Amino acid sequence: MTPRSFLTVLALMAGMGSCARAPDPTANGPAAAGEVNLYSARHYDSDKALYAAFEEETGITVNVIEAQGPVLLERLKAEGANSPADVFLTVDVGNLHRAKAQNVFQPTQSSVLTNSVPAHLRDADGHWVAIAKRARVFVVNPALAPPERLSRYEDLADPQWRGQICVRSSNNVYNVSLLGALIEHWGAPAARDWAAGVVANFARAPQGGDTDQLRAVAAGACSIALVNHYYFARLIASTNAEDQAAAAKLQLIFPGQSGENAFGAHVNVTGAGLAAHAPNRDNAMRFLEFLVSPTAQTILAEGAFEYPASNGANVPETLLAFGDFSEDQLPIGAIGPRESEALAIFDAVGWP
């Protein structure tokens, strides 16, 4: 099989997206030497450099299927024991939680993984490990919202910000995971009050993605956006003159750095785990361990402006410009089980 021959696109199922062509999984036969089959929910061109670096280091060919995380999860479940997948890589702790709960991962024991990645960024049972982090932050227009008045997630619910907040819809996985974390920290009643307060402060009905929120703040349609940090980093790094002009009007704030009961900035992750029926288990473990290596962490961070997950990995210059921050040490595996509760709260407070 030629490298990345999986990238021939086919329809997985009507209305559920597309993916690349896998080998005919008529049986889970002997492992094919020299390859690893990756199901990836990431869609960054820079990841090609990641696969090339692994292939150069190990001689193992990386075959890739790309699709949305839920689509790949359904495929893994449908393929069952006949699946050719060796590694499942996806974004958001909610997707990782569902994958574990639906038995598409198998547990691993690796001193490389446990020594490289902090415990709060790994599944307690060894089913998955974070390979990159994304912080959920405030980006403000300082001319409209004085940054010194915004230091905690609680501040988004303060009535002083009536009509000034832009944020995407409640069914977005990053908002669901943030609220799940707040439920863990504060309890459901307080988390519900917070969500209701944020809704009361909306500048407009939620619409678009995180980049749309940033552009709205730059244009003055609102003064505060709740976004993942890397969308702002991409705006800064853009070669588009309009993006650069928008970014110049904005400032990033890491919430939860100080004050009463501060727990740090909420982080979500890109994570990966060993597929339950991996036919190339040894190669898959080499790939997982490579993902937390300095080489891979640099490629991941510089290619997508995510923070490295490994201890001591280099942070890209664009992110260093944001300054140091303390992240929430809550085990992120605790957030996924809160997903249904978080969605129910969003519905109850009228967050579309």
Structure tokens belonging to residue 321: 């410009």
Type of residue at 337: P
**Cα 19 from Cα 88, distance rounded (Å):** 13
**Cα 290 from Cα 48, distance rounded (Å):** 14
Q: What percent of the chain has pLDDT over 70?
A: 91
Domain 5-133+267-320: CATH superfamily, name plus number = Periplasmic binding protein-like II (3.40.190.10)
Q: In the 8-state DSSP scheme, what is residue 278?
A: -
DSSP H helical segments within 238-338, as ranges?
241-248, 281-291, 294-304, 317-320
Strands 9-11 and 18-20: what pairing? Answer: antiparallel
**Rounded to 5 degrees, what are φ and ψ at 113?**
-65, -45
**Cα 104 from Cα 315, distance rounded (Å):** 32
Average pLDDT, stretch 235-240? 96
pLDDT at 259: 85
pLDDT at 261: 86
**Cα 135 from Cα 178, distance rounded (Å):** 10
Q: Please list, residue by residue across 248-261, b when 16 or more beta carbons sit within 10 angstroms of its beta carbon and e when fewer do.
A: ebbbbbbbbbeeee
Is 13's pLDDT higher than 60? Answer: no
**Cα 260 from Cα 22, distance rounded (Å):** 52
Domain pair 5-133+267-320 / 135-265+327-349, same fold: yes
pLDDT at 265: 98
pTM: 0.90
Lowest mean pLDDT among 18-22, 61-65, 68-72: 18-22
Quote the distance between the C-alpha of residue 305 and its chain's center. 12
Q: How confident is the model at residue 1 (pLDDT cuts 50, 70, 90)?
A: very low
DSSP string, 16-75: S-EEEPPP--SS--SPPTTEEEEEE----TTHHHHHHHHHHHH-PEEEEEE--HHHHHHH
Q: What element of type H or E holds 131?
A: strand 129-140
pLDDT at 33: 53
Domain range list for the chain = 5-133+267-320, 135-265+327-349
More confident residue, 293 or 28: 293
User: What sign does the CA torsion over 153, 297, 48, 94 have?
Assistant: negative
In this predicted model, what pLDDT tens digit does every residue of 299-348 receive, in sequence order?
Answer: 999 999 999 999 989 999 999 999 999 999 999 999 999 999 999 999 99
**Cα 51 from Cα 207, distance rounded (Å):** 35
| CATH class, range 135-265+327-349 | alpha beta
